[in-house]
Structures are given as structure tokens and as C-alpha cells.
Structure 1
């Protein structure tokens, strides 16, 4: 029943028996389950380690914590761990793609297997157009930054329409803040109306396009060449990692047009991301860039979270958020 929560079958049997017969001694419990004392002790240690048992002074045997408390806490911890692992995967993959981009930038004269460097906005657009027209069945893209430029929207409209007419599955993830920019929102709605799949999320790790899960385009954003250089990646291992990154974000993103979900703590994905960024020590300006929103909006969200947490500083907000399991301790690093 509880294998999915990491509970062994013996520990589960012991826990359920202790719930049904809370006043039985361990001797009686062992006989009831037809196991020896050593096995009972192993199961008790396992249950104690995940806070499903509570020891009271003066009682010879521990008592089982009520499932609505103990199991709910266990599920919450596992959900937090899953969220932490997903974020690690996202951060690791983003770091990998950034490293590849930096290598391509620092070694422009060399040719590396699976890496093609593009310089200049025209070269990038030509290559993107070539890949889009050659796409056979799926194109997946991250579009960070909130509002998209009119130039980019116009350049994409014809290619997207042609791809959809060919039966290509288009999957696009924008940031939630795109809902506040009418031209970009209208374009996203136009895409959705044609049959494209569009979702939004609080923040995105990078801008990228993956075509048929065989080639990806990732921009090189250096201080001198922002938006004017990119790498085309065809290495199978890297494409697999980038596709896993996309799918991880895609699964948790909100379908365009649907109400933005709030979790059991009443937090939107944007608010939870703001908490992580506050805990990481980012300024309001840096948070605004990450979320694709104005600095004023970032400050408003941060101020509201401070009020809800009863915190007077970012450090205190981070500590309070961890104590409520709104974020994990790793977010404070």
C-alpha cells in the first residue's frame, strides 16, 4: 500500500498493526505478525526514522503517529525532495548547456563534434528557419523573458503556421509574465488556436529550441554579444539531457488559458520561485529579470510574501519558508 512512500512491507505491517492495536506490547505484536524481535526492531527503527512513531516517557513501546499527521508529513517531505531533484536536474542541464556555449565562444576557430557555432543575428535566423522548415514531427522551445519583441513574433508566425499545417507538434513554454504583455499573449493564443500546445511557468532556465529531439539551438549570451551568437547542438547525449529538461518543465507548467494553479500552501509557481530567488540572495532587479517582469512587480510579490510569512528580512523570510516547507533548506545555499 505504501511502497510508493518508501515504506518496506514489514514496516507497513507493523505500522498498521500498531494503529489497530495501540496498547499491545511488542511481544504480542511480534506474535500477531509472526516475526521475531529483531525484525520488529528493524521495522521500528525504519518507522521512527520517518517520524511515523512517537516515543513517550514511561511507555515501554512507542505509539504510531496518526496517519493524517504522519503520512501527510511523509508525503510532503517526499514531494519537497522530488521538487528539489527536479530543480537539480534543471540547474545541472542548464549549466551543461551554458558550459557548451562558453566552450564554443572561447574556441570559435575549432570544430567540435556535435557543436556548430553561429555568429550574427542573420545567421541565427537563417539557421532557425532552415531547422523549422525541415522539422518533421516535433519542435519544443523555451521562450524566457516575458514579452517577446514584435520582430521575433513576425519572424516566427509564418514558420509556425507552416509547421502546424504539416502536422508538426509544437510545444512552447513562455514565462507566466507573458500574460501581462498583450502582443505576446495574443500571439501565444493564436498559436494555441491553430493547434499548437502552449504553456507558461514562473521562470525558465534558458532560451532554446529542440527540433525532432535530434538538434537544439541555444543562444550565447555574453556581455558583448547578447543575442548575436548561438550554438547548434546535435550530440545525442546532450540532446537527451536537454529534452529531459524540457519535459520536466513542461509537466509542471500551466496550460495557456487555464487558471494558474496554486499548491496546497496557497502559492503560485511564480511566488514559490520568488521565494527560492529571495533565499538565494538575488536582488529585486535580478528577480525581475529571472521572471520576465518589471522590478515593481517583483517587489510587490516579494513584499506580499514577507507579509504572509511575518518576516522582516530576506533571511527571516527564507527561514520561515523552510520551516513551513514552502522551500527546501538547499534553496538557502
Structure 2
């Protein structure tokens, strides 16, 4: 497990030494490992940056090892929080650009509006035929409609046959929808790339990093789509996509969701968001699931805890250190 952290050999040796003891001082570590004190100091700084060591409360001059799983969980949660904030900032930037363009009447050649499903699908077919290298897609909302999946398959098949790189980014909750999960597995088997994340930017398609398609209203896909070739707007969308893709998890057939204290991944994220003060409606939108699903999952958590109210459930969650 330490290998995934990219530790130096010295830091790894120091951690392994600490892992078998309650605490140790730098001098003791240097003597035991045959290293200089400045080497020990650098290794401890490296470990502290990853939250793998902490000062001993019994002896302030000593340090103790932190469980790798505990450290990794903290790092992942911190990165998720940073990612969510950055995505919100980039989404706001994109919305401002689109709003500014709309206020000008979209009177320039590089942008066009498409109204109606038929017009959108016709344009996507043309763009799919014209793509030369790659297509990047953000598909939020968890489960995708069967109509959307049916429309996408022939386009994806043709693109993959031509050697086009397809990168689809779904919300974690797609794993609970069989048609969407089956489609993702098919795409991976055909050579496409699929990743999932708990929080995604708005829906978008980017062709060859030169043409982008986004909904005119992220909350209403029927309102129409906006196609832009403006370099500044496309570059912003590509940066948003790359940030989300880097933080996402690769998807593979039969992959199970992580469980924490017996909670499913979606239950853990639900509790985390509710603990932050978000409403059921806001949580449903953030996780890409229905309001009924949020309430059903919360009911299941309360049953596990034997709680009669959400307040009581919150007290027991805190007492059990589930968050």
C-alpha cells in the first residue's frame, strides 16, 4: 500500500521502523537505521506531509506512525473537498462566459444554439464523424436514459473503429443503474476509457479539444445545447474536464463500491453532505440521484443505527466515528 504514495526509500524505512513501536525519537531512528539526523528529519517531513506520522502526546520529542488506511482516507477526503470547490469555481466561470456570450446575442460565427433533441442529435452525428483524435464526455446524474444510451452506441462504435480515444466521466451513482453500468462495461471492453467521481462538472462533450457542446440550461437538457469553437471557452472546459478526470476512479467490470463502517459509498457521501448542512434536495442534485433515493438511503442508515430521528442518527454517527 505504501507504494501508491510514492515515498522515498528512506521515508518508507523510517515509517516501517515506526510502525512497530508506540513512538520513537529522531536520534533513536538514526541509530537504528544507520542514517544521519538530517536524513531522518527529511524523511519525517515527507511522512508528515502525507499525515503518516504525528507527534506523540506522551513524549512531544517523539513521533508515532499513523495507520496508512487512516492517512489515505483523510487525504482522499481533503482532495475531494478541494476538487468540489475548484469545480464550482470553474463552473461559475464557464457560466459567466456563456451568459456574457448570450447577452451579446451570440452574434459571432464560433458559437451556435441548437433547439430540440433532433437538432442536437443531428449535430452530434456530424461532430462524431468529423472527430479525428478524441472525444471527452462528462455525463452527470448517475443513471443515463435508455434513449441516450441507444443513441450513443452507434456513434461510439464507429469512433472506436476509427481509433478515436473516448473518455467518459460518469457520476459514482451510475454503478447502481444496470443499463448505464452495462454500457460502461461495454465501452471499456471495446477500448474506451471510463471513470467515475462523486461530484462532476456540468454535462459536456469536447471534440478534439476544439469544439465543445454544453447544455444551455444544465438543469434542463430539453432547453437546447450550445456549441462553441471559441478557443478561450473550449480551453476552460478542457481544464475543467482534466481536473475532474484526474481525480476520478477508473471503472472496471464487477468493481464494488468501497464500504466504510458497513456503509455503502453512497451512504457515506450522503451522511457527509448532510453533516455539512445541505438539504435533501441539494444532496440529491450533488450525487446525481433522486430525492426519494436520498430519503430511502437515510432511512436505511437510521434502521442500522436504531435511531428514531435524524437528530438521534446524527448523534450515533458522531459517537461511532463514522465521519
**Cα pair 1:140 1:210 within 8 Å, conserved:** yes
Question: In 1, Cα distance between the equivalents of 2:178 and 2:35?
Answer: 65
Who is 1:254 aligned against? 251
CA-based RMSD:
4.9
Who is 1:169 aligned against? 165
The reply to whether residue 120 of structure 1 matches residue 118 of structure 2 is: no
**Cα pair 2:106 2:112 within 8 Å, conserved:** no
Who is 2:92 aligned against? 95
Who is 1:62 aligned against? 61
Which secondary structure state, in structure 2, belongs to the residue aligned with residue 52 of structure 1?
A: strand
Q: TM-score, normalised by structure 1?
A: 0.68
Question: In 1, Cα distance between the equivalents of 2:227 and 2:102?
Answer: 9
Q: TM-score, normalised by structure 2?
A: 0.70
- Of stretches 301-310 and 208-217 in structure 1, the one that deviates more from structure 2 is 301-310
Distance 1:321 1:281, change over 3 A: same
Distance 1:310 1:195, change over 3 A: same
Distance 1:320 1:158, change over 3 A: same
Unaligned 5+ segments in structure 2 are: none
Cα deviation, residue 238, structure 1: 1.3
Deviations 1:120-156 (A, max 9, x none): 1244333322221111122121222334344433433
Question: In 1, Cα distance between the equivalents of 2:228 and 2:135?
Answer: 14
**Cα pair 1:143 1:175 within 8 Å, conserved:** yes
1:177-326 aligned within 5 A: 177-181=173-177, 183-221=179-217, 226-235=222-231, 237-249=235-247, 251-255=248-252, 257-262=253-258, 267-305=263-301, 312-313=309-310, 317=314, 324=321, 326=323
Who is 2:55 aligned against? 53
**Looking at CA atoms only, which structure, 1 or 2, has the larger radius of gyration?**
1
Cα deviation, residue 315, structure 1: 11
Q: How many pairs does the alignment contain?
A: 315
Which secondary structure state, in structure 1, belongs to the residue aligned with residue 223 of structure 2?
A: coil
Question: In 2, Cα distance between the equivalents of 1:45 and 1:274?
Answer: 34
Cα deviation, residue 221, structure 1: 0.8
Unaligned 5+ segments in structure 1 are: 327-333
**Cα pair 1:202 1:269 within 8 Å, conserved:** no
Distance 1:110 1:323, change over 3 A: farther
